[in-house]
Amino acid sequence: MSVNVGTVDRVFRAVLGVVLLLLAFTGVASGFWAWVAGLVGIVMLVVAATRMCPIYAIFGIKTCKAS
């Protein structure tokens, strides 16, 4: 799979992932919403780490510079 997430997008996803995980694990979000925040946070961190977004791949979107 090719890289399709640029630097700005990657940083944004990493920060959002950490914030969502903090919301889930500190008790700010509870019940169903804590699970949603936790799962979305994990997905955001995985996408930021791998620089590959499956949804971007489906739609042919690339936010990274051409190499």
User: Domain containing 15: what range?
Assistant: 7-51
Euclidean distance between CA atoms 20 and 14, whole angstroms: 10
Tens of pLDDT, residues 5-59: 999 999 999 999 999 999 999 999 999 999 999 999 999 999 999 999 999 999 9
The model's pTM is 0.90
Domain tally for the chain? 1
pLDDT of amino acid 5 = 95
Longest dimension (CA), the chain: 44
Backbone angles phi, psi at 55, to 5 degrees: -70, -40
Within a domain: 35: yes
Q: E strands within 1-67? A: none
2 falls in which pLDDT band (50, 70, 90)? confident
67 falls in which pLDDT band (50, 70, 90)? low
